[in-house]
Structure 1
Amino acid sequence: MELKTIRQILLDYGISRRMLCYYEEIGLIKSSRKDGYAYRVYDENAIQRLQQIIILRKLQIPVKQIKDILNNQNAVEVIEIFKQNISKLDEEITALSTIKSILMRFVDELQEKADVYLKLELLNDKTMLAIVSTLSFSENKIKENISVEELNKANENLNKLTDKDVRIVYLPPMTVAAAYATGEGCEGKANDMITEFVKESGLLKIKPDARSFGFDCSKGSIGIGELSHVYEAWVSIPDDIEIPVPLVKRTFDGGLYAAHVLRTWDFEDWRLLKEWVNASDKYDNDWDSPRWTSPETVAGQGFEETLNFYNFIQRGSKMEDLQLDLLFPIKEKGYE
């Protein structure tokens, strides 16, 4: 039986480690530990399932529908899911065909008039407005970030964040319990330690407004969205609470952050948020400035905050319920 490590899977199929972990956490695939292997491995069944997932994603099937398809033995229900997606594609094809016809009409009329000064009277045409108003595109095109390569070539603005997309927030100073882990699966290990501490300590009864953060803290060898090998997770706590080993207590100084909700699990939004910060005329990138002291890990970067942390823990920490806010450290221009 063929067995592949996580590294082999990432190289062979070109997906991110986080996406692979996400598929596993929501139950789409399973890994296991085998004698003679230092890491978790995927058997032929898991590899075949992953291939099916990749193909369905390339066909623009949302992850939630993929889960229904792969876990459903009822062919009629699966056919209905495919028909729904075909219907959405038909709407998009019709809309794109209409757009093409409108643009061709613009070209024809402009070529006929050949005015020195451009006048787009067609844009004031009520009939034209009525046609454009009926155009329909499925939400997949916006939310799923599938086949964006073609869309981005047509319009680079589809791959940028605007001022309306980004919130500027101030994180207040706080005391946190921190868990950090290294090696394979470090992100899951660190978050599991925090979740266990929160439940065993009854923290949410003491501090129902507790906030939870996580971040890659690999020293100097990793960029945004790349493979983690050191990860730290936090939860805010009262100053006087005792925390168990191996957790450590840290004091966070607070600061200004550019915030954006993570929309897709390929974490491309980190890159887009960084580009927004670097292009801002109001704020400077403050990624490498320490805002807490940590002898164990790197102490200056952005966070991923679990939104609605209280309900997330109370519902049983289901991966499909997880929502993350990306927080990029910034400072006002000219501020020292």
Structure 2
Amino acid sequence: MELQKIGQVSKDYGISARMLRYYEQVGLIESLRKDDYAYRVYDESAVIRLRQIIILRKLRVPVKQIISILNNSDAVQIVEIFRQNINQLDNEIIALSTVKSILTRFAEEINEKADVNLKLLGDEVLFSVINSLSFSDNQIKETKEDLSMKELNKASENLNKLEDKDVRIVYLPPMTIAAAYASGEGCEGKALDMISRFTNESGLLKIKPDARSFGFDCSGGATGIGENSQVYEVWVSVPDDMEIPSPLVKRDFSGGLYAAHVLRAWDFSDWRWLKEWVNASDKYDNDWGSPRWVSPETVAGQGFEETLNFYNLVQKGSNMEDLQLDLLFPIKEKG
């Protein structure tokens, strides 16, 4: 098998280049570098490992458990991890079956008595049964002994779709920003390194411990699966009168309303789900592309990825798998 470029692997397997780099950082796969060649390439063993990861993720196995499974030669421990997930699914199946039975009972009683007061909802015994049900974040819609990848994808689509309870509406206030932007492969890491170095050298967190940091692709539109960011910008909020050293630049962010959702998986597909939620909303309009700052150097007016634990990331260091990001999609109220 010939070595495959990162873009080709991304397109073949529907995994973003960012996700592939994340899998590398946590030690799940390894890439190679050819002499005088700028991009990552993958050999057959890396592609096989990637297929294993994809299957386990489709089966709702968390990344931390996948690391234990694929990097562990102890069969007993691996079996125990699978049994933990099976037990979790069993509990969910029982809970969902109970919910189905109760909803069926509601429907039958209303149909028979034409009574829409739902007196059953006041039943103490019913309340104790419902209150005891437990669901994890990995609820399932259906179970089969042998699920095809197509069925797994369909189930994953249903599970990942955002509901109102998954989205927060937040207002970002106006703020002064120190911005670092970089281009080419690894531009995200380069820009983040510049901001981290500036934050440490300036003692920013002693002056402004509530500093917030945002990052976003500003290549001229959001990148698609298999496409690398060409230009990436990282921000940190600073006091209005703070001097910003070159090559960083100062920006004035005017603030605005955003739909917020915590990133669940590092393939960043949650951006698509968040966009779909915004477009389907009866309260808010999509405001992507409306400039909320002036940027002669890069594109302005897009969504952000906010580092939620920025203070710890800079002050204490942080493992990639512990990093939390909030996706922030620009919106405006209808009317």
Q: Into which bin does the TM-score normalised by the smaller protein fall?
A: 0.7 to 0.9
Corresponding residue for residue 181 of structure 1: 182
Q: Secondary structure at the residue paired with 1:259?
A: strand
Corresponding residue for residue 3 of structure 1: 3
Amino acid paired to 2:209: P
How far 1:301 sits from its partner (Å)? 1.3
Corresponding residue for residue 315 of structure 2: 314
Alignment of 1:166 onto 2:171: no
Trace 1:175-254 onto structure 2 (pairs within 5 A).
176-220=177-221, 222=223, 228-254=229-255
Checking the alignment, whether the CA contact within 8 Å between 1:186 and 1:229 is kept in structure 2 is: yes
How far 1:63 sits from its partner (Å)? 0.8
Superposed CA offset, 1:67-122 (max 9, x none): 122232333222221111121122223334444555566677778x4x66668666
CA distance in 2, matches of 1:254, 1:117: 50
CA distance in 2, matches of 1:282, 1:104: 32
Amino acid paired to 1:195: S
Corresponding residue for residue 149 of structure 1: 154
Provide the TM-score with structure 1 as the length reference.
0.81
Corresponding residue for residue 56 of structure 2: 56
Amino acid paired to 2:71: N
Cα gap change, 1:314/1:216 in structure 2, threshold over 3 Å: closer, same or farther?
same
Corresponding residue for residue 31 of structure 1: 31
CA distance in 2, matches of 1:195, 1:182: 17
Checking the alignment, whether the CA contact within 8 Å between 1:224 and 1:271 is kept in structure 2 is: no
Checking the alignment, whether the CA contact within 8 Å between 1:218 and 1:229 is kept in structure 2 is: yes
Corresponding residue for residue 83 of structure 1: 83
Q: Secondary structure at the residue paired with 2:72?
A: coil
Gaps of 5+ in 1: none
Cα gap change, 1:166/1:227 in structure 2, threshold over 3 Å: closer, same or farther?
farther
Corresponding residue for residue 148 of structure 2: none
Q: Secondary structure at the residue paired with 2:330?
A: strand
CA distance in 1, matches of 2:24, 2:220: 27
How far 1:233 sits from its partner (Å)? 0.9
Superposed CA offset, 1:267-323 (max 9, x none): 343334334444555544332222222122111112111113111212214212211
Q: Secondary structure at the residue paired with 1:169?
A: strand
Q: Secondary structure at the residue paired with 1:140?
A: coil
Cα gap change, 1:20/1:98 in structure 2, threshold over 3 Å: closer, same or farther?
same
Amino acid paired to 2:298: T
How far 1:65 sits from its partner (Å)? 0.9
Which segment drifts farther, 162-171 or 11-20? 162-171
CA distance in 1, matches of 2:224, 2:40: 24
Corresponding residue for residue 264 of structure 1: 265
CA distance in 2, matches of 1:314, 1:323: 16
Checking the alignment, whether the CA contact within 8 Å between 2:180 and 2:195 is kept in structure 1 is: yes
Q: Secondary structure at the residue paired with 1:141?
A: coil
How far 1:6 sits from its partner (Å)? 0.7
How far 1:28 sits from its partner (Å)? 1.8
CA distance in 2, matches of 1:160, 1:131: 27
Gaps of 5+ in 2: 141-150
Aligned-residue sequence identity (percent) comes to 67
Corresponding residue for residue 292 of structure 1: 293
CA distance in 1, matches of 2:283, 2:246: 42
Superposed CA offset, 1:127-184 (max 9, x none): 5444444433333339xxx95833866x9xx72332773132132231x222212233
CA distance in 2, matches of 1:329, 1:280: 13
How far 1:214 sits from its partner (Å)? 0.6
Amino acid paired to 2:155: E
Cα gap change, 1:189/1:95 in structure 2, threshold over 3 Å: closer, same or farther?
same
Alignment of 1:135 onto 2:130: no
Provide the TM-score with structure 2 as the length reference.
0.81
Superposed CA offset, 1:174-195 (max 9, x none): 1x22221223332222222222
CA distance in 1, matches of 2:196, 2:233: 13
Checking the alignment, whether the CA contact within 8 Å between 1:167 and 1:260 is kept in structure 2 is: no
Alignment of 1:330 onto 2:331: yes
CA distance in 1, matches of 2:8, 2:156: 30
Aligned Cα RMSD in Å? 3.4
Which segment drifts farther, 268-277 or 228-237? 268-277
Cα gap change, 1:229/1:106 in structure 2, threshold over 3 Å: closer, same or farther?
same
Checking the alignment, whether the CA contact within 8 Å between 2:171 and 2:255 is kept in structure 1 is: no
Corresponding residue for residue 44 of structure 2: 44
Could you say which structure has the greater relative contact order, defined with CA pairs below 8 angstroms and 6 or more residues apart?
Answer: 2
Cα gap change, 1:224/1:213 in structure 2, threshold over 3 Å: closer, same or farther?
farther
